[in-house]
């Protein structure tokens, strides 16, 4: 197999196109299944109508309402969150040169979740709006702030002579996650009956509460964060050699590193504020891409955007249908798929002596 | 010229470099030798501007090194660190092509340069293999190719390559290959500085030799002139004899069988 760089570019396009097609098919499928089954054909027609095409055909009114007010915002949110988690995971793995890093490991998710839970439980004492657009925007800002704060604490504690010590980074991440767990637990302890029910939301994730209202603020931020991370894909290739090597090859290491971490914290923080902590997507998706194709981040990052979205859309279909009309927490499904896969990865790495 | 004058560097109380001046001349091979812990790698990292806490001046092609951006620096100098570990399964060709990161040149130009350097370093035969599966010598040649790709293009200004023990843990044939390659690239208006552990290789290939001990220069000059028994003995605190190899017309060194003291026991208390 003697591929030149040109054929590899061609292959990258091919892989990304294939993944996009899979995502489109999965999306249409996900939109059609549920309590009310809508034929895929009708889904496509409604979507085309929304885009201003295909006006003549009439579709059952009920289907259109279910689709446009429940399933469409949910699928948009699922895709955005899956994409954000996937791309942040692959960016952070490349940045820290560690295949076992995932967004929650460096404290982003824990920081976001504990900040949001604190605001929900103790925020009632403050003169804050309790519902509506402003409230959701506030929660998202808090989630982002909490995630950033946790990440910077972890980074600051793990910096040694101006460089990031990966072992300390991961251990402080573990410590901070434990702390975040305690903060969430404490908030739950003081929570009332009603707030208690949201507990599973923050620890296992929930894609149920999607509304266009929430998305109007979050979606542009998530898209910005993903685009920002994609921009750094070529520089991340150099980080795979080491920070000094990246610097020698012309990368402004410190500013690049900081920007990548801010974009990742933004992506994960906002995701957590929308859906709680959803584990394993950010860890597993980049690995699947690397194992199946190759490690060039110019492929891994965009493919993680698509792959993360694809995985979460499929997991959501399973979560919604297996115990219908009830719903499994999405984190249960991703962990059920992710955990055995992760163990498999570890065993594989062990066999190859890569750890 | 890549000129470092009166470099000093300390971390807390520990003096790692003290008043070291060194010049890399385009078209010439400059080697730095010295015992373990003498500050050779620190000197190379300081000259590569990996950290900024040093005193003294570094001037590259007439312009203060601190005035260069990291991208501008990448056009004038490339650095081969002592060992580079790669975590993910990149192919050999992908690793080499990383050296072109800072350039905005077309894919065709990049490919031409990558191909030329890979042929020269003999890495083209395993270009599609995963870097993780290579042997130590192969990995080192791939990293050298990556570094060369970065400064390969002929430019109006001279370029520089800094190599930190490029042949450590390599066999004699791999060593010879890498040093003769480093010597050959000097013809492209490139100045090479290398930290070299093997004294005989150093004098065989280098135009200039710098002897470093405890962060200070012991001696420096034209390689064959400073490669003498007293200078080597003073630098390494070890009894040696220097002979002349008529074949290469070059001196070489053999240590005496009996060590008269443990290494570094002559450390002068400050």
Interval A95-123: pLDDT, tens: 888 777 777 777 888 888 888 888 877 77
Query: What pLDDT is attached to residue A355?
Result: 47
Q: Residue A189: beta bridge partners?
A: none
Q: Give the 3-state DSSP-derived string for B186-255, with helices as H, strands as E and coil as C.
A: HHHCEEEEEECCCHHHHHHHCCEEEEEECCEEEEEEEHHHHCCHHHHHHHHCCCEEEEEECCCCEEEEEE
Model confidence at A314, pLDDT cuts 50, 70, 90, reads very high
> What is the C-alpha to C-alpha distance for residues A45 and A30, in angstroms, rounded to an integer?
15
What tokens does A281 get?
A: 């997507």
Pairing of strands B208-213, B29-33: parallel
Closest in A6, A9, A245 to B84, CB measured: A245
Interface check B133 vs A, CB under 8 A: no
What tokens does A202 get?
A: 């923050």
pLDDT at A198 over 70: no
Residue of A7, A241, A292, A301 to mutate, testing the B interface (most B Cβ within 10 Å of its Cβ): A241
Instruction: Say how many residues make up chain A.
Output: 355
Query: What pLDDT is attached to residue A156?
Result: 84
Interval A135-179: pLDDT, tens: 777 777 888 888 888 888 888 888 776 666 777 877 888 888 888
ipTM at complex level: 0.87
> What is the C-alpha to C-alpha distance for residues B152 and B119, in angstroms, rounded to an integer?
13
Interval B9-37: pLDDT, tens: 988 888 899 999 999 999 999 999 999 88
Query: What pLDDT is attached to residue A213?
Result: 81
Query: What pLDDT is attached to residue B193?
Result: 94
Closest in B48, B73, B84 to A241, CB measured: B84
Mean pLDDT for all residues in chain B = 88
pLDDT at A1 over 70: no
Mean pLDDT (whole number) for A1-15: 66
A68: exposed, middle or buried (Cβ count in 10 Å: 0-12, 13-18, 19+)? middle
Query: What pLDDT is attached to residue B269?
Result: 40
Query: What pLDDT is attached to residue A354?
Result: 53
Give the whole-number percent of chain B exceeding pLDDT 90. 43
pLDDT at A2 over 50: no
> What is the C-alpha to C-alpha distance for residues B206 and B31, in angstroms, rounded to an integer?
6
Mean pLDDT for all residues in chain A = 82
Name the residue in chain A with its Cα closest to that of B161.
A248
Q: Residue B78: beta bridge partners?
A: B161
Peptide bond into A327 cis (omega under 30): no
Query: What pLDDT is attached to residue B179?
Result: 92
Mean pLDDT (whole number) for B42-71: 89
Q: Residues A338, A212: contact at Cβ < 8 Å? A: no
Residues of B in contact with A99 (CB under 8 A): 87-88
Mean pLDDT (whole number) for A15-38: 89
CB pair distance less than 8 Å for B87 and A251 = no
A319: exposed, middle or buried (Cβ count in 10 Å: 0-12, 13-18, 19+)? buried
Query: What pLDDT is attached to residue A274?
Result: 85
> What is the C-alpha to C-alpha distance for residues A167 and A214, in angstroms, rounded to an integer?
38
Q: Give the 3-state DSSP-derived string for chain A, with helices as H, strands as E and coil as C.
A: CCCCHHHHHHHHHHHHHHHHHHHHHHHHHHHHCCCCCCCHHHHHHHHHHHCCCCCCCCCCHHHHHHHHHHHHHHHHHHHHHHHHHHHHHHHHHHHCCCCCCCHHHHCHHHHHHHHHHHHHHHHHHCCCCCCHHHHHHHHHHHHHHHHHHHHHHHHHHCEECCEECHHHHHHHHHHHHHHHHHHHHHHHHCCCHHHHCCHHHHHHCCCCCCCHHHHHHHHHHHHHHHHHHHHCHHHHHHHCCCHHHHHHCCCCHHHHHHHHHHHHHHHHHHHHHHHCCCCCHHHHHHHHHHHHCCCCHHHHHHHHHHHHHHHHHHHHHHHHHCCCCCCCCHHHHHHHHHHHHHHHHHHHHHHCCCC
What tokens does A353 get?
A: 């002596």
**Nearest-neighbour CA in chain B from A152: distance (Å):** 22
Name the residue in chain B with its Cα closest to that of A296.
B90
Please indicate whether residue A207 or residue B233 has the higher confidence score (pLDDT): B233
Interval A239-284: pLDDT, tens: 888 888 899 998 988 889 888 988 998 898 888 888 888 888 888 8
Interface check A48 vs B, CB under 8 A: no
Residues of A in contact with B87 (CB under 8 A): 97-99, 240, 354
What tokens does A7 get?
A: 């054929």
Mean pLDDT (whole number) for B131-157: 89
Interface check B70 vs A, CB under 8 A: yes
Query: What pLDDT is attached to residue A224?
Result: 95
Residues of B in contact with A161 (CB under 8 A): 11
Name the residue in chain B with its Cα closest to that of A8.
B94
Model confidence at A84, pLDDT cuts 50, 70, 90, reads very high
Q: Between A and B, how many CB-CB pairs are < 8 A? A: 93
Interval B180-223: pLDDT, tens: 999 999 999 999 999 998 999 999 999 999 999 988 999 999 98
Interface check A249 vs B, CB under 8 A: yes
**Nearest-neighbour CA in chain B from A178: distance (Å):** 28
Mean pLDDT (whole number) for B90-115: 88
Query: What pLDDT is attached to residue B268?
Result: 44
**Nearest-neighbour CA in chain B from A226: distance (Å):** 22
Q: Residues B88, A99: contact at Cβ < 8 Å? A: yes
Q: Residues B78, B163: contact at Cβ < 8 Å? A: no
Query: What pLDDT is attached to residue B75?
Result: 92
The model's pTM: 0.84
Mean pLDDT (whole number) for B134-150: 90
Tell the residue number behind the tokens 């130590």, with chain if given.
B136
Mean pLDDT (whole number) for A337-349: 76
| Phi-psi map region of B174: left, alpha, beta (phi>0 left; psi -120 to 50 alpha) | alpha
Query: What pLDDT is attached to residue A161?
Result: 66
DSSP string, chain B: -EEEEEEEEEETTEEEEEEEEEEEPTT-EEEEE--TTSSHHHHHHHHTTS----EEEEEETTEEGGGS-HHHHHHHEEEE-S-----S--BHHHHHHGGGTT----HHHHHHHHHHHHHHTT-GGGTTSBGGGS-HHHHHHHHHHHHHHHH-S--SS-EEEEEESTTTT--HHHHHHHHHHHHHHGGGTEEEEEE-S-HHHHHHH-SEEEEEETTEEEEEEEHHHH--HHHHHHHHTS-EEEEEETTTTEEEEEE-SS-SS-TTTTPPP-
Q: Residues B32, B194: contact at Cβ < 8 Å? A: yes
Interface check A292 vs B, CB under 8 A: no
Torsion of CA A15, A16, A18, A19, to 10 degrees: 120
Instruction: Say how many residues make up chain B.
Output: 270
Interface check A327 vs B, CB under 8 A: no
CB pair distance less than 8 Å for B69 and A99 = no
Interface check B79 vs A, CB under 8 A: yes
């Amino acid at each position: 197999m003697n591929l030149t760089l040109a054929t590899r570019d061609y292959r990258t396009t091919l892989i990304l196109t294939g993944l996009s097609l899979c995502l489109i098919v999965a999306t249409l499928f996900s939109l059609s299944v549920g309590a009310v089954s809508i034929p895929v054909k009708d889904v496509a027609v409604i979507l085309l109508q929304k885009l201003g095409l295909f006006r003549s055909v009439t579709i059952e009114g009920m289907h259109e309402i279910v689709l446009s007010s429940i399933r469409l915002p949910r699928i948009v949110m699922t895709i955005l969150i899956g994409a954000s988690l996937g791309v942040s995971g692959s960016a952070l793995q490349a940045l820290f040169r560690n295949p076992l890093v995932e967004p929650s490991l460096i404290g982003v998710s824990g920081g976001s979740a504990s900040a949001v839970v604190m605001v929900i439980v103790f925020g009632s004492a403050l003169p804050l709006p309790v519902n509506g657009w402003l409230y959701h925007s506030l929660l998202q800002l808090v989630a982002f702030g909490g995630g950033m704060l946790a990440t910077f604490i972890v980074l600051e504690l793990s910096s040694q002579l101006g460089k990031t010590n990966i072992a300390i980074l991961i251990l402080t991440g573990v410590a901070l996650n434990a702390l975040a767990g305690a903060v969430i637990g404490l908030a739950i302890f003081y929570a009332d009956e009603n707030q208690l029910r949201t507990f599973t939301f923050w620890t296992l994730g929930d894609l149920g509460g999607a509304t266009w209202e929430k998305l109007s603020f979050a979606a542009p931020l998530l898209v910005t964060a993903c685009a920002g991370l994609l921009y750094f894909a070529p520089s991340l290739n150099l980080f795979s050699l080491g920070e000094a090597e990246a610097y020698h090859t012309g990368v402004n290491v410190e500013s690049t590193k900081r920007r990548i971490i801010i974009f990742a914290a933004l992506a994960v923080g906002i995701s957590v504020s929308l859906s709680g902590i959803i584990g394993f997507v950010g860890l597993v998706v980049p690995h699947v891409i690397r194992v199946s194709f190759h490690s060039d981040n110019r492929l891994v990052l965009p493919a993680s955007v698509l792959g993360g979205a694809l995985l979460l859309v499929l997991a959501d279909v399973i979560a919604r249908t297996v115990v219908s009309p009830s719903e499994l927490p999405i984190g249960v499904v991703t962990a059920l798929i992710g955990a055995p896969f992760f163990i498999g990865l570890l065993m594989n790495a062990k066999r190859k002596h890569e750890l | 010229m890549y000129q470092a004058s009166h470099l000093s560097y300390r971390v807390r109380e520990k003096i790692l470099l003290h008043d070291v001046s060194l010049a890399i001349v385009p078209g010439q091979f400059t080697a730095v030798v010295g015992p373990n812990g003498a500050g050779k790698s620190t000197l190379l990292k300081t000259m590569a501007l990996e950290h900024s806490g040093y005193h003294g001046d570094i001037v590259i092609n007439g312009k203060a090194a601190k005035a260069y951006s990291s991208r501008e620096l990448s056009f004038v100098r490339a650095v081969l660190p002592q060992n580079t570990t790669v975590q993910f399964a990149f192919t050999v060709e992908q690793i080499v092509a990383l050296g072109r990161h800072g350039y905005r040149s077309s894919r065709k130009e990049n490919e031409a340069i990558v191909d030329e350097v890979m042929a020269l370093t003999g890495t083209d035969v395993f270009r599609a293999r995963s870097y993780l599966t290579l042997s130590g010598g192969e990995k080192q040649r791939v990293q050298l190719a990556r570094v060369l790709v970065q400064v390969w293009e002929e430019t109006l200004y001279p370029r520089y390559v800094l190599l930190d023990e490029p042949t450590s843990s390599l066999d004699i044939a791999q060593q010879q290959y890498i040093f003769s390659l480093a010597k050959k690239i000097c013809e492209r208006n490139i100045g090479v500085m290398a930290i070299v552990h093997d004294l005989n290789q150093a004098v065989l290939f280098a135009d200039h030799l710098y002897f470093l001990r405890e962060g200070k220069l012991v001696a420096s000059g034209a390689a064959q002139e400073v490669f003498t028994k007293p200078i080597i003995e003073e630098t390494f605190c070890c009894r040696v004899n220097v002979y002349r190899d008529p074949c290469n017309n070059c001196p070489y060194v053999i240590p005496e069988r009996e060590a008269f003291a443990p290494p570094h026991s002559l450390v002068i208390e400050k």
